[in-house]
A and B are shown apart, each in its own frame.
Chain A
Amino acid sequence: MAASFLFSQFVGGLTTAMFLFLIASGLSLVFGVMRVINFAHGSFYMLGAYLAWQMVQWLHPSGETFWPAALFAAACVALLGAIVERLLLRFLYGREELYQLLFTYALVLILGDAAKYIWGTGQLSVSRPPILGGSIMLFGATVPLYNLFVMALGLAIAVGGWRMLSGTGAGRMVRAASYDREMLDALGANVGAIYTGMFAVSSFLAGLSGALVTPIVGIVPGMDVEIIVQAFIVVVIGGLGSFWGTFWGSLIYGQVLSFGILIFPGFSLFSVFALMAVILVVRPWGLLGRPIR
């Protein structure tokens, strides 16, 4: 087997990984800080995709209108996330986790139907932005420029997110909120604002990844449910609530999928689920997660 082929398979896995990281990081962040398992994260991703498509249509289907459209979509989804947290989710924190699960699941149904109502059930597509339309040769493998951009962005968000959490005052507050919400509250910090902010950031990441995926994936109803399953696998492998765990979980998922196809061509999903099963047995709290107290 040629080395260039192994390299292109590796790069393919890396692309998968970085897209999954963009999506799963928000999911993991919200769980880590707020202890909420947000099923609607996939719905925010779907809304990001539809909104980006809508904006591209309004601006102009060709040309570099994709970039403002993607930012617009992500901002809209972030705003929606903040509203949902502020007006609805907030009242469920004191309750059992089951209520939060039911609530976010209800959101999945509501947002799915809303998207169907607004954009119909047809399939939609956004062209690659012309500036990243081409591809380059790397070690004999063809690598699309757009995929390179996504990989770079994923890495930037991983490093930036980590720096934010570990090195800034806001990051310290967020970490404190994840350890002991009541204590932080008693010390006079505005925990409500921190939660709203976190949920908005997580929604922004979901909306952004949904928008960024449109040049390489068709937009269809049901893409919300499709992605949330994969995002959960990544988060489970990496450890629920662990930021770096999600990063490594994505990388491992990407490579296992990519090379699993070579070893078991007839069972494309076998290797990924086998990996998840092994992790759940050996380390139920994930690679970098911590056992729940």
Chain B
Amino acid sequence: MKPTLLKMSNIFKSYPGVKAVNDVSIDLYAGEVLGLMGENGAGKSTLIKLLAGAEILDSGEIYIEENKLDIDSPSAAQENGIGVIHQELITMDTLSVAENIFVGQLPINKKTRLIDWKSAYKKSSDVLALLNSDIDPKSTVGTLSIYEKQIVEVAKAIHKNTKILIMDEPTAALSEKDSKSLFEVITRLSKQGVGIIYISHRIEEVFNITDRITVMRDGKLIGTKPTKGTKQKEIISMMIGRDLNEFFPEIKSEKKEVMLKVTNLNIDGIIENINFEVKKGEIVGLFGLVGSGCLNIARSLIGIDEIDQGEIYINGKETSIKNPKNAMQNKIGFIPIDRKHEGLTLDFSVKHNLSLQSLERLGSGFLVQESIENSMAEKWVKKLEIKTPNIDVQVKNLSGGNQQKIVLGKTLETNPEILIVIEPTRGVDVGAKMDIYKMLEKLCKEGVAIVLVSTDVPEILSISHRVLVISTGKIRKEFAKGEANQQELLYEASLN
């Protein structure tokens, strides 16, 4: 048996309204690649943040090589040999490779007290050589390919005696060939005794490179299995649980008229030849992994991402949508992915948020008529069962679920005929989830055409009437309701 590198035991971490990590214990052995899997919101990222010092745990213990540690800052994590490669690359593009690798720790010449560039470049080359890479340490990172940047990130994470390397979706933006090269690097590192925690949604690659797989769901540890001898199916059902299906309401679509039609949509290098239509009262799901182009399709429908080619028809009429205001005028509503930064004005009160998209309806003249605003807010608080002490509370004080309901109410107040919904239940508790699904069901009945972008597999399969699978900017497959299971969906989405 290999020695235990890392032991996390009985870890708890809560945010207001959510138990993000709930009594989780994991071990990592030296030279092992441990896959960490789970749906969005399962708690993987939080667990990793606790280990990397980006968040502080509520309770629980972390041991590295038998020593109990208090990881209370990113630097404490680094000093204890924990390196992290984040999902989004955080390279400093205007600086050189060496400066990126040794950020904050460039070698200093003892005599002059200035940076010893010669040694910095030499050391950088050494680290890069370990990774089988011949990137010039003097080159500017901005000029490198995504794969090379990824390698720079790895070099940055491992250059100082890193024993534990955490990789969060490292292949999300890589081509198949580059992914393979990265796997070689991972194998190399593990042979040198580095323990690697590998997070990915791509089941195939997790099965290819890991020794064991740990699955989390709803903040809890579901189990850890040796990769050899375990079937992909088993892992998937551990990830999603079996009882989830009954959780989703059956949403019927009865109407026939096409409300939204998109033809030959192109954004150079991002999405290619996208064609689909959405009928009144229909929910069409767009499913894709990170970087697939799903988000861009959604954003182009409300005029945030500019399209290079293609037409959008609303109610049979060709319409060009230049900006969100324009989308609103065309009766397109939008639930953005990030409620805190895009959906809400956190310092505003509940009522000011609910009315923000409908200011022109707060009275006929120049002034806001407060009675209209108050009744508008009261109406949505009641309709969506928003739990708030009153409508004058700042939304930053509410839970994620209630905040999300406000985003929904704010958009619905504009009476959209088409609704673009992105990740409507991310980071939302179960009760609020149900309320949001109920609202979507009601909107369907009223004839609203809904485009749902979600990476929550059970959600998208259960509430969409059709699911379009997007990968590398193209529609790969269309599943009617009930036609695909979760495995197939994930499989199609991971194809290049």
The answer to whether A and B assemble together is no
